Amino acid sequence: MKPVTIYDPTLRDGQHAVKHQLSAAALRGYAEAADAAGIPVVEVGHGNGLGASSLQVGRAAVSDDVMLSTVREALRHSRMGVFMLPGWGTSDDLRKALAHGADVVRVGVHCTETSLAERHLDFLASEGAEAHCVLMMSHMASPAELAGHAVTAVGYGARGVGIMDSAGHFLPSDVSERIGAIAEAVDVPVIFHGHNNLGMAVANSVAAAEAGAAIIDGCARGFGAGAGNTQLEVLVPVLERTGYRTGIDLYALLDAAEFAERELMPAPPVTGSLSIVSGLAGVFSGFKHPVLEASARAGVDPRDVFFELGRRQAIAGQEDLIVDVVAHLREVAR
Amino acid sequence: MTEVAVIGTGAIGRDLVGKIHRSPVLDCALVAGRNPESEGLKHAARLGYPTSAEGIDAVLAAGPFPIVFDATNALSHKEHWQLLKDVDTLLIDLTPSRVGDMVVPTVTGTRAPAARDVSLISCGGQAAIPVAHALAGRFPVSYLEVVSTVASRIAGRATRLNLDEYVATTQTALTEFSGVRDTKAILNISPAVPPATFRTAIHAVVPGASATEVRAVVAEAAERVRAFAPGYRVLACEVNGDRVVVSLEVAADSDVLPRYAGNLDIINSAAILVAEQHAARPVVVGG
């Protein structure tokens, strides 16, 4: 069996589903359960990563310092991961995260803007940290473009590189092509991070592994924005049956997922109307809450808002566009 | 006419040269870059201005100039200030270095700056601070956040490498000019095609804000900015409980820049205004 590394961003990406309100006790409980299951990397933070607590996306209930020290204490075997978006977090945030004992640092950029990560990847390499670069909203670039950006990221010092299907737009063949192109172009582990807007997250993750991805992301109960991410406790046994070795204990993994459902979320994600629309429109799933709220206030159809955001090519982080789009649709309706 | 020099030949430098060309009081005496083949140097030469690929060394050799615009990057600006601080020059800094005194024309007034190194802060700072300052002057603002979006095509290498400085400098300036201690700055780079016009959203926590009053304060602040940056306009102004969201757009009014590059237009327009005020200041004999 071929080894594959499971990377668990439940305590980071899941934050989008609960407006970044996870408590320190919830973080500790899940981190302990994930550690007991032998999950290799447990990522923690605000949904948009280090330094990203904001009105634009949501202010976190717990500071970065408390999140990192809580999860660090809870992990005995698993490595701790953090996420950072240049322009949102800064090198100071990276320094603090390393001081807290972060083992893996992912720098996220929109899939065509890898040069935004040059400085931070260079800094992390000089600190000897294991830095990854993830290309977000990767449905907005071709396989060849993504491979080119992956090569650039490795040149900046990334020791892992890959793609996020931030809008949950991909079908398995899209993933195979893109992961295949990247795996052929770089000699570092390739990452795939799926979203479930069109019900494809597990199938897409298997396609990624078969195309050469060595690091696959999954969240307990799929905890994440909108329709959620790849469901971790489904992903792991499916990969094992397909012929990949994860090193994760099934029962302990199922227990961690039970804990997550009970303690982290009001209800597990479902593929609701807006998640389907955001997947089709190619818009970041994390826009769901602000779109719903702004649409309800203005009396416009939130599905129209998603398609208009897609038309304007909104990228992750551009939640401020929602106010304009809603105002525009309200005007058009009059 | 007051002689000025420009260091840096990226999009900011190129537009500055275009704006100096239009100015009735400023005369471009030197444009200095690093690459003799750069578009910026060719553009300056086509307009008939002296150029050099020797960077700051050329400015030191040909100077002193009464005014030097620094359109390089935050790190280089620190060196340039060290080299120019003992020379009788006003250094106008377009990088987010946070070295000089910060200037926002509609807030710091129309007098010539007293400092010899003035900082234009950042594009997001120039767009947001007039509104943030007006809101904080009228209401008890407890938190301010500014999210700007720049089109990828106009975000050059210095911008991309200086994101940390952009964030720190914009936050510091927001606090300095609004008096609000808790501030945050965020920068997004948009790859949309056709490129998205530069925009800035201001989120504020304002207990007891009335929507009518907020809109009036924002409209008045925007009108004053439009006096020197005509492409500046308010797109939306929403008040929901104690949350205020103002979104602004700046379209470029420039011979050099595409319309979407309002980020460069607003910071350069402010810089030119500062230079023109300095050029018009009374000369103090023996002072």
pLDDT in tens, chain A (334 residues): 899 999 999 999 999 999 999 999 999 999 999 999 999 999 999 999 999 999 999 999 999 999 999 999 999 999 999 999 999 999 999 999 999 999 999 999 999 999 999 999 999 999 999 999 999 999 999 999 999 999 999 999 999 999 999 999 999 999 999 999 999 999 999 999 999 999 999 999 999 999 999 999 999 999 998 899 999 999 999 999 999 999 999 999 999 999 999 999 999 999 999 999 999 999 998 898 899 999 999 999 999 999 999 999 998 889 999 988 999 999 988 8
SS3 A3: strand
Q: Can A16 be counted among the known catalytic residues?
A: yes
Give the distance from residue B97's alpha carbon to the nearest chain A alpha carbon, in angstroms.
15
Superfamily of domain A2-263: Aldolase class I (3.20.20.70)
Taking the Cβ of residue B277 and every Cβ of chain A, the question of whether any pair is shorter than 8 Å is answered with no
Rounded to whole angstroms, the Cα distance separating B11 from B22 reads 17
Task: Give chain B positions within 8 Å (CB) of A295.
Answer: none
In tens, the pLDDT along B101-152 reads 999 999 987 566 678 899 999 999 999 999 999 999 999 999 999 999 999 9
How many angstroms from the chain centroid is the CA of residue A104? 14
Q: Is A330 on the interface with B (CB under 8 A)?
A: no
**Residue among A86, A110, A324 minimizing CB distance to B191:** A110
Answer yes or no: are the C-beta atoms of A80 and A103 closer than 8 Å: yes
| B44 min Cα distance to partner chain A (Å) | 28
Q: Is A110 near chain B, with CB under 8 Å?
A: yes
Alpha-helical regions (H) of B23-122: 39-46, 55-62, 74-84, 105-108
For A312, which of B143, B160, B192 is closest by C-beta distance?
B192
| Crossing angle for the helix pair A64-74 and A24-37, to the nearest 10 degrees | 30
Interface touch A116/B160, C-beta < 8 Å: yes
Taking the domain A273-333, which CATH number applies? 1.10.8.60
- For CATH 3.20.20.70, the residue range(s) in chain A are 2-263
Residue owning tokens 């909108």:
A226
- All CATH 1.10.8.60 domain ranges in chain A, comma separated: 273-333
CA-only gyration radius of chain A, Å: 18
Residue B157 touches partner A, C-beta closer than 8 Å: yes
- The DSSP letter of residue B97 is -
Domains in chain B, CATH or no CATH each: 2-120+268-279 (3.40.50.720), 123-259 (3.30.360.10)
Rounded CA-CA distance B122/B118 in Å is: 12
pLDDT, tens digit (0-9, with 9 covering 90-100), for B176-203: 999 999 999 999 999 999 999 999 999 9
Minimal CA separation from A189 to chain B, in Å: 26
B259, burial (CB in 10 Å: exposed 0-12, middle 13-18, buried 19+): middle
Q: What is the pLDDT of residue B74?
A: 87
Q: Is B277 exposed, middle or buried (0-12, 13-18, 19+ CB in 10 A)?
A: middle
DSSP code for A112: T
**At residue B59, does pLDDT exceed 90?**
yes
